[in-house]
A and B are shown apart, each in its own frame.
Chain A
Amino acid sequence: EAGVTQFPSHSVIEKGQTVTLRCDPISGHDNLYWYRRVMGKEIKFLLHFVKESKQDESGMPNNRFLAERTGGTYSTLKVQPAELEDSGVYFCASSQGGSYGYTFGSGTRLTVV
């Protein structure tokens, strides 16, 4: 089966611009998570979707970040406007839930200059 796919793999944008990251989970996985690792620090939870609903968005840093999951399939994470401190690696993961483990995508490296 295909894994979790993220794109772009790398994005370089200027401060103030908008960037949209996309994650395609494993087919049939209701749970989709976004995490990020900023400036080489710890990996932090951003939010959790169950199908198309936001189950937990407690980790979203501010209102410049908007996540959607259309029809419970792929998800997008939009940063608008991007700031320098948003640079880092953004990870997406999906799972069937319960005791099943996660599968992570290969991440999107975002560089804001």
Chain B
Amino acid sequence: SQQGEEDPQALSIQEGENATMNCSYKTSINNLQWYRQNSGRGLVHLILIRSNEREKHSGRLRVTLDTSKKSSSLLITASRAADTASYFCATTEYGNKLVFGAGTILRVKS
């Protein structure tokens, strides 16, 4: 089943602006994670939020989770050119396998 569908599909902003990406999922979750993929290469784990948490911060990242709406958002504040990447949310299914969405392509222009 398709989980973790992100929107927007692509986002282009100026350096210094904030970027917000949203994710929706279909089934009950234990946690939701956000990952970044730079230049078509490896996945980097950004942040994990558990189902009993509503908001979590890590540096310039802020993640919210609304289990009633089955949605999450990732906010990157004061964006930098180096934040240019694809961002994915992922939920965990049986066996701890991750189910990813299609991702949001973020481009930060300097």
Binding site for B on A (CB under 8 A): 6, 31, 33, 35, 37, 41-45, 48, 55-56, 59, 89, 91, 93, 95, 97-98, 101-107, 109
Q: How far apart are the CA atoms of A74 and B43 in the complex, in Å?
A: 19
**Chain B residues, Cβ within 8 Å of A104:** 35, 42-45
User: Measured between C-beta atoms, what is the minimum distance from B46 to chain A in Å?
Assistant: 11
Q: How far apart are the CA atoms of A93 and B15 in the complex, in Å?
A: 32
Binding site for A on B (CB under 8 A): 2, 33, 35, 37, 40-45, 48, 88, 90, 94-103
Q: How far apart are the CA atoms of A6 and B45 in the complex, in Å?
A: 17
Q: How far apart are the CA atoms of A91 and B97 in the complex, in Å?
A: 13
A-B contact number at CB 8 A = 61
7 A-B pairs within 8 Å (CB atoms) are namely A6-B42, A31-B96, A43-B98, A55-B95, A56-B95, A59-B97, A104-B45
Q: Are A44 and B44 in contact (CB under 8 A)?
A: no
Q: Are A89 and B95 in contact (CB under 8 A)?
A: no
Q: How far apart are the CA atoms of A55 and B94 in the complex, in Å?
A: 11
Q: Are A106 and B41 in contact (CB under 8 A)?
A: yes
Q: How far apart are the CA atoms of A99 and B62 in the complex, in Å?
A: 21
- Residue ID in chain B nearest A91 by CB atoms: B43
**Chain A residues, Cβ within 8 Å of B37:** 37, 89
Q: Are A107 and B98 in contact (CB under 8 A)?
A: no
